[in-house]
């Protein structure tokens, strides 16, 4: 990652919004980010969205603006090919993966029907 113009290595738990991270193929994206620079970057979002094919990601430029590039990379997804630099936009429970995790926590409680079925089964 880059902080104050210098490349440093930090634990992903220490990232904050506004940091710039280096994205490399074969690595998991540590936070929800917006691409600032990219070279042939594609990410697998199968674990998060169920999309089986890697999605091509590219930063927005004056040349590609009209073709609607996808400059967003999501936490917990895998960079399959290419590389890039990205601005951290969300971390931890504020990422898409974090929000999905919170929903899963809520759904782990028994519904009223499940409670009734459980009492009948007992």
pLDDT, one tens digit per residue, over 29-50 is: 999 999 999 999 999 988 888 8
Q: How confident is the model at residue 28 (pLDDT cuts 50, 70, 90)?
A: very high
Q: Of 54-63, 82-91, 103-112, where does mean pLDDT reach its minimum?
A: 103-112
pLDDT at 122 (0 to 100): 86
Measure Cα distances from 108 to 91, 101, 105, 111, 121 in Å.
Answer: 23, 11, 5, 9, 19
Residue 103 has pLDDT above 80, yes or no: no
Output the average pLDDT for the chain. Answer: 87
Least Cα distance to 16 among 5, 28, 2, 27 occurs for 2
Domain 2-121 classification at class level: mainly beta
Write down the domain spans for the chain: 2-121
């Amino acid at each position: 990652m880059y902080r104050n113009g210098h490349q440093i290595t930090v634990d992903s738990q220490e990232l904050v919004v506004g940091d710039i991270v280096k994205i490399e193929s074969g690595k998991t994206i540590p936070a929800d980010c917006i691409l600032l620079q990219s070279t042939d970057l594609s990410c697998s979002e199968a674990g998060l969205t169920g999309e089986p094919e890697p999605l091509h990601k590219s930063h927005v430029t004056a040349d590609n603006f009209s073709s609607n590039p996808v400059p967003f990379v999501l936490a917990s997804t895998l960079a399959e090919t290419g590389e890039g630099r990205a601005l951290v936009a969300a971390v931890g429970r504020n990422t898409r993966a974090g929000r999905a995790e919170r929903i899963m926590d809520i759904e782990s409680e028994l519904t009223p029907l499940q409670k009734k079925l459980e009492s009948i089964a007992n």
